Structure 1
């Protein structure tokens, strides 16, 4: 990630008077997706993959094949979804109202 921020840049001795430009996001056109586990890493390729759609640490199931260059060509992917939501039991309250507490903190 070429645009990944580095805290040392703020304290660099060679810092110019020009303020650092903060990008809208940290994606660079050269960024690639990499699959990593305990054994190693492999670059992912394929038309299904867009680096803007993924973040570090998500679980995926990938189907594909190894290319001559050593990359993994993704032909299909399955993202981990949310588990089915179970209904909560009713508390048996005879009241038809609820209390709601709202807090607002303004820091100057």
Structure 2
């Protein structure tokens, strides 16, 4: 088994991997295999995080959370491809999100 880590993949390899994972997720969803669907979606989200420059995420800034409408995330610090911080209006417990889940608020997406 000669699998590369996402951190070792080129942009093209990552894009191919994401497409493959999304396809597997789509098939699992069609078959009603919910847990398998969730695993492929999470893997795709992680792979997407490696296409984003961590320097584009600023500690102290507020971001929208992709796929969680109306939920905002306050970034405290970055570690690798994860942003650590707090959800606004939550219980203020620290959590880490892949940076691919963060959307800037300023661009009004």
Q: Which has the higher contact order (CA 8 A, sep 6+)?
A: 2
Which one has a larger percent helix, Structure 1 or Structure 2?
A: 2
Q: TM-score, normalising length from structure 1?
A: 0.28
- Larger Rg computed on CA atoms: 1
